[in-house]
Homo-oligomer: A and B are copies of this chain.
Amino acid sequence: MARWQPGARERLVMAAVDLFAEHGYDTTTVAQIAERAGVTKSTFFRHFPDKRELLVAGQDALSTLLTEGITEAPAAATPLEAVAAGLERAANTMGPMNRELAPRLKAAIAASTELQERDALKSVGLGRAMTEALLSRGTPAPIAHLAAELGLLAFKQGFESWTAVDDDSTLSQRTLAALDDLKAAATTLS
C-alpha cells in the first residue's frame, strides 16, 4: 500500500498514542506530545483543548454516524439492516490512519487502566446510542438491545480483523461480514 502522509492533527494523535503506550497516559504531557509530533504547543491547542479530548474527539463523531445511519435507513429495513446501514456509514469514514494507529492505540490501552475504563465507557455509549436509535424507529426493546449489541460486536470484530492485516479490504466489508456471522450464530441459539 502507498504510504499515507499525515497532517499536524494526525501526527499529534499518533505521537500521543505512542507516548501513552511508552510512558502511560497520566505522565505524558501536552509539551511532550507536541515535541514528538514536531509541532508547537500552540499548534496542539489549535487542534485539541487538552490531552483527554485528543482521545475522545473521534468518539462523538462515531456515535453520530452510527445513529444517523440507523435513523435514516428505509422504514422497511429490518433492525439488523438498519444497524448494518449505521455500521457502513461509520466504517466508511475510517481509512489508513485508523488502520496504522490501531496497534499502537491497543498497546496504549493495554498499559493503562484509565484508558481501559475510558474505552469501555465509549463502547457502552456506542451500544446505548444504537439501541436508542432503534427504539426511535419503533423496534421492540429486546430486539433493539440485541441488534445494537450485535452491531457493536460486529464493529469490534471487523475493526480487529481489518487492523490485523495489510490488504485491500475495507473496514466496511469486514464489519458487515462479521455482522453476517453473528446473525447466522443468532439463528442457531437454542
A residues near B (Cβ < 8 Å) are 78-80, 113-114, 116-118, 120-121, 123-124, 140, 142-143, 145-147, 149-150, 153, 157, 178, 181-190
Verify B143–A188 contact, CB threshold 8 A. yes
- Give 26 A-B contacts (CB < 8 Å), ordered by A residue: A78-B189, A80-B190, A116-B121, A117-B117, A117-B118, A117-B121, A120-B120, A120-B121, A120-B123, A120-B124, A121-B121, A124-B124, A142-B178, A142-B181, A142-B185, A143-B185, A143-B189, A145-B185, A146-B185, A149-B149, A149-B150, A149-B153, A183-B189, A186-B189, A187-B187, A187-B189
Copies of this chain, whole number: 2
Cα–Cα distance between A78 and B123 once the two chains are bound (Å): 28
- Give 7 closest A-B pairs by Cβ, nearest first: A117-B117, A120-B120, A120-B121, A142-B185, A186-B186, A120-B124, A143-B185
Of residues A116, A186, A190, which shows the largest number of chain B Cβ atoms within 10 Å of its Cβ? A186
Cα–Cα distance between A11 and B133 once the two chains are bound (Å): 40
Verify B116–A186 contact, CB threshold 8 A. no
Verify A182–B145 contact, CB threshold 8 A. yes
A120 contact set on B, CB distance < 8 A: 117, 120-121, 123-124
Cα–Cα distance between A187 and B79 once the two chains are bound (Å): 13
A188 contact set on B, CB distance < 8 A: 143
Verify B121–A79 contact, CB threshold 8 A. no
Q: How far is the CB of A121 from chain B (nearest CB, A)?
A: 4
For the complex with contacts A80-B189, A117-B121, A143-B189, 15 further pairs of A-B residues with Cβ separation under 8 Å are A78-B190, A80-B190, A117-B117, A117-B118, A120-B123, A124-B124, A142-B184, A146-B150, A146-B153, A146-B186, A147-B189, A149-B153, A183-B189, A186-B186, A186-B189
